Structure 1
Amino acid sequence: MNRRIRSIFWLMTICIIAINAFQGYWLWKTYQINRQQFASTVQSALFQSLEDQQVGDAKRLFIRKQKADSSSRMVIHRFDSMGSRHVRVFVNNRSDSISRIRIESEQPKRIVVTYDTQKRTTGANPLPADSIAKRISSLVLLDWTDRKRVNLAKLKAAYRSELIRRDIDATFQLDTLTSKPQNSLGNFVFYRNGDQLTTDDIIQTSPVPINPIQNLFVQATFAAPELYLLRQMGWLLGGSLLLLILTTGCFLFMLSTIMRQKKLSEVKSDFINNMTHELKTPIATVTAAVEALQNFGALNDPQRTQTYLAISQTNLQRLSDLVEKVLNLAVEEKRELVLHPEPVHLADVTNELITNHRLKATKPVIFDTSISQDAIVVVDRVHFGNALNNLIDNAIKYSRDKVTIQLSFRGNIDNWQLTVSDNGLGVPKAYQSAIFDRFFRVPTGNLHPVKGFGLGLAYVRQVVERHGGTITVQSEPGKGSEFTVHLIRRD
């Protein structure tokens, strides 16, 4: 049985660890994928917002210059922004046509002009392409040369709008960087506020050129992307955590059930062994008495006959009591204990019990009571008397050749405490929490020096708890035990 339980335990443990490890690995990979997607999206958004701003600046510069140089009418047709910046410009009173001005992102110092031979139906004659290209190039380059600072506030607002459009609402910081050549191969080192930039930040976009003339770049830094990513994975994390809790909880519940079943099996085995020993003694005694009457001529001696019959009657009564205890136990498990509380003089109950135990005790018993005659408690006289009788009976049975039992009471009718202590064998600390369980007896191997089924203290706890009280034990092996009943009356 123990081997099977150990095998089941280790198999379930391995399964739970494997499930939790797989779930954790899956969550980690999902987080890494989301982190990579986040980094790619914020990089793309920075390119897009910066591109829109630069193309808009070029448009405004050209319009402003064109208005200052001539009175000709100019129409900006549209802007494209997929990898390079495109500007379509049409101007009245010109014969040549220009279709597109592209400001290449890889080499932002070059402005490429392409021609379009398609005639427009707007009635506006295009401006010569070469002239417009040169004019826009010079305007943009002059603007880059003269500009000493970058309008980060404007770019930050545009970047935030672009992020929101892409369903990203994370805290970020925009910084301008400067670059310096590191070697002849054209590699660059970037600086922020004079300090060389490292990759120690949590998530940073790649530096994007904003003013190549001044070697100015812009970079976005996301200080705490983990919190944002975890919030985005909230439902996934919650569901996974719930699954882990349920799986682990089921494992622990199954394990506790198996251990409880194992304990019940051991208790049942102990109960059967104890019952067997208890039943064999009276049966063997009666059998011996009957054999004496049959085989040794005891019937011819009336006195011997009466002696054997008295022995048989006593043991048969004991056997009947044992069977009745088991039957009563089965009945008590199916129905709730019914109490009839009433005011009771505690001294009368204890004195009656002390008298009975002195008469039937097989060893010297000394009682030391400190219960006043006017001590009154509201309890069920029968059940509480039986519970107190069990405590005294255990103190006598689990003791040496001589025992001293002390009974003390303190409190009033509504809040009182009764203590029963002895100088007996005591209970090891490992078993003190289990002695109130049904059928439990402190293990003694195959020896059974004290007869019983392990039901007495279970009954005591049931009675005390039905009265609304508690019972505790303090014990030390070799020094004795102290049982304390504490009851607070609640009307």
Structure 2
Amino acid sequence: MKKERNYIVLIIVLTTIALIGLTCFQAYWINISIDQRKNQLKEQIQISIYEIVDRVEKFEALKKAERSGKLSALLGKSNSDLFSELSKDIYLQDSILNELNIQLRSGIEKDEKLINSFVKDLLSINYYAKFEDRLSKEDLETIIYQTFDKNKFNSTIEYALMGAKGELIYSSVDDSTLLKEIEQSSYNTQLFPDDFFNAEFILHFLVKNETQYILKSMWAMLILSILFLIIIVSAFYYNISIIYKQKKLSLIKNDFINNMTHELKTPISTISLACEALNDKDLSRDEKNRARFINTIKEENQRLGGLVENVLQSATVEKETLNLKLELLNLHAIIDKSIKNSALQVSNKNGQLDFILKAKNTLLEGDKTHLINVFSNLIDNALKYSTNIPVITISSEDVINGIVVKIKDNGIGIAKEHQLKIFDKLYRIPTGDRHDVKGFGLGLSYVKSIVEKHNGTIKVESQLGKGSTFTIQLESAKEN
């Protein structure tokens, strides 16, 4: 037994170590994946920022050319809404820039002076213009948000454009606290980096809920990892619980075998001794001795029959196919029959059996044999667990839609920690190696099963040293 216990402990320890190691390994890889995603996000944002700077410069060049009227001339178009469309769509800007590139390369199709003038306008800088004239807030926001959208970046972006002296030029927020966060963000770049003489303009970006965005982009992997981890932990817990249940069942089985061996051995030994005595010619000549030995054999045989009957009762209830032979019964008559069956046992212990049957609506549908066994078992338990002269009181009373029967004794009582377990099959209150209390732990399990099959309930109230009270409630027969 000790070797088996050590083996179980070893399995649990090794499995626990493996589970902890697997959990740590999984957490490590998730952490690496999050770091990689963070780096990818930073790279994605940085690429978008560089693209924004480039687009702002291109937009400014197109804006100058359009204002000078040379863009339409160079493209051979006279659409007055051209620039209005340009300011709303960065994709259209790319298209026009590509077309300009083609037109500039094919100098045959355009006047050389016009081209040179156009290039000169692109390279010139208006040193005295206000920044608002150079780039409006609406145009800047269009470039920023369309660029991030083009790069499939769906998180909320806030920005702030600051001058060389730290003055605020444009911002997507009004809140001073959030504005400070934007300024302190690691995402920033110089706008118009090719300007040699103008003051620097710094464009700051803030990614709101960056961690949440990263986790959201990895939700499938995280959920699957957590799910698999839960499955593994659940399987581990299930296996450990199975091991302990099997161990518990093994102990219960051994206890049952020990009790059964003890219970069966005593009447068999007694019958064997009585038979030997009857074979003795001297002893068998005395009629009183002969009658006593025969009576002993009869009693022990009945006891053996009772033990076998308890096991058979339990086996019968275990079958799901058990069919009760329901008939209309008088519960008081059932109780009376149970009392008569137990009268000899009560008398042998000089006990007292009182009954206070006050219920009037005593008709119910039930199986006569099984209900008699229920009350006989409870009376038998009351006798077995009484150390002094047993006093048993059986009472009944009417309740709504039913009848309640209470079996009260003055026995040793049941501790609280055992009260919920006494109805489990093969459960016996631990008594060490003592076998002075007879039984297999089947009686109360059988009682509960039969009561429940009659749509009833059973409960116990008990205190150590003050006895126990078993309360059974059954449904009354419905009136036709």
User: What's the TM-score bracket when you normalise by the shorter of the two chains?
Assistant: 0.7 to 0.9
Once the 2 structures are TM-superposed, how far is the Cα of residue 15 of structure 1 from its aligned partner? 1.8
1:329–1:358 Cα change, 3 Å: closer
1:53 paired to 2:56: yes
1:240 paired to 2:225: yes
Once the 2 structures are TM-superposed, how far is the Cα of residue 205 of structure 1 from its aligned partner? 5.1
Which 10-residue stretch deviates more, 299-308 or 51-60? 299-308
Once the 2 structures are TM-superposed, how far is the Cα of residue 319 of structure 1 from its aligned partner? 2.5
Which 10-residue stretch deviates more, 289-298 or 254-263? 289-298
Residue 125 (structure 2) aligned to one of 116, 135, 139: 139
1:350 paired to 2:335: yes
Residue of structure 2 equivalent to 1:19: 22
SS of the equivalent of 1:482 reads strand
Q: Greater relative contact order: 1 or 2 (C-alpha under 8 angstroms, separation 6 or more)?
A: 2
Residue 226 (structure 1) aligned to one of 211, 220, 226: 211
How does the TM-score come out when normalised to structure 2? 0.80
Q: Which ranges of structure 1 fall in alignment gaps of 5 or more residues?
A: 81-85, 93-98, 100-117, 182-191
Report how many aligned residue pairs link the two structures.
445
1:425 paired to 2:428: no
Residue 259 (structure 2) aligned to one of 271, 274, 298: 274
Residue 191 (structure 2) aligned to one of 210, 213, 234: 210
1:65–1:273 Cα change, 3 Å: same
Per-residue CA deviation, residues 172-216 of structure 1 (Å, 9 max, x unaligned), is: 2122234559xxxxxxxxxx9998999977994521223674543
Per-residue CA deviation, residues 333-363 of structure 1 (Å, 9 max, x unaligned), is: 3453212333332222223323443332113
1:413 and 1:402 map into 2 onto residues whose CA distance is 36
Residue of structure 1 equivalent to 2:308: 323
Per-residue CA deviation, residues 32-71 of structure 1 (Å, 9 max, x unaligned), is: 211221122122212213321331122211332365xxx9
1:382 paired to 2:385: no
CA RMSD of superposed structures (Å): 3.7
SS of the equivalent of 2:187 reads coil
Per-residue CA deviation, residues 257-284 of structure 1 (Å, 9 max, x unaligned), is: 1111111101100001101110110122
1:164 and 1:241 map into 2 onto residues whose CA distance is 31
2:426 alignment partner AA:
F
1:156 and 1:384 map into 2 onto residues whose CA distance is 86
Per-residue CA deviation, residues 150-193 of structure 1 (Å, 9 max, x unaligned), is: 64443333333222322221122122234559xxxxxxxxxx99
2:380 and 2:322 map into 1 onto residues whose CA distance is 22
1:163 paired to 2:154: no
Greater strand content: 1
Residue of structure 1 equivalent to 2:431: 444
How does the TM-score come out when normalised to structure 1? 0.79
2:7 alignment partner AA:
R
Residue of structure 1 equivalent to 2:84: none
1:484 alignment partner AA:
T
2:180 and 2:449 map into 1 onto residues whose CA distance is 69
Taking the TM superposition and a 5 Å limit, the aligned residue runs for 1:184-203 are none
- Contact 2:252–2:427 (CA under 8 A) maintained in structure 1: yes
- Contact 1:467–1:487 (CA under 8 A) maintained in structure 2: yes
Seq. identity, %: 30
Residue 10 (structure 1) aligned to one of 8, 13, 34: 13
- Contact 1:418–1:484 (CA under 8 A) maintained in structure 2: yes
Residue of structure 2 equivalent to 1:402: 389
1:372 alignment partner AA:
A
Residue of structure 2 equivalent to 1:338: 323
Taking the TM superposition and a 5 Å limit, the aligned residue runs for 1:92-111 are none
1:119–1:352 Cα change, 3 Å: closer
- Contact 2:267–2:303 (CA under 8 A) maintained in structure 1: yes
